[in-house]
């Protein structure tokens, strides 16, 4: 059995989302994501495989829907 994760997935996804937002999808590298999230590349891949970007999009969508512009209503 593997060790328990020493990081919160929500925090990692939020940090990765900010990195994608800053650099774009195509201009990001696994090394940049590892540095931004504080997790080694291998651990990042093992934890999220290929779903990290999808989770980032989901978080962005959730924030967009739940945080409404007070001027719009």
Per-residue confidence (pLDDT) for residue 66, from 0 to 100: 78
Task: Tell me the C-alpha distance between 18 and 32, whole Å.
Answer: 11
What's the predicted TM-score (pTM) here? 0.77
Per-residue confidence (pLDDT) for residue 30, from 0 to 100: 92
Confidence band, pLDDT 50/70/90 cuts, at residue 4: low
Above 90 in pLDDT, residue 26? yes
Chain Cα centroid distance, residue 59: 8
Domains annotated on the chain, with CATH? 9-64 (1.10.10.60)
18-25: long-range contacts, CB 8 A cutoff, minimum separation 24: 20/53, 20/56, 21/60, 25/53
Per-residue confidence (pLDDT) for residue 70, from 0 to 100: 59
The pLDDT tens digits for 27-65 are 999 999 999 999 999 989 888 888 999 999 999 988 888
CB 19 within 8 A of CB 40: no
């Amino acid at each position: 059995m593997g060790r328990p994760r020493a990081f919160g997935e929500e925090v990692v996804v939020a940090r990765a989302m900010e990195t994608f937002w800053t650099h774009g999808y195509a201009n990001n590298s696994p090394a940049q994501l590892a540095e931004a999230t504080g997790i080694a590349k291998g651990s990042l891949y093992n934890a999220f495989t290929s779903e990290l970007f999808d989770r980032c999009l989901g978080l962005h969508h959730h924030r967009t829907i739940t945080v409404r512009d007070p001027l719009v209503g």
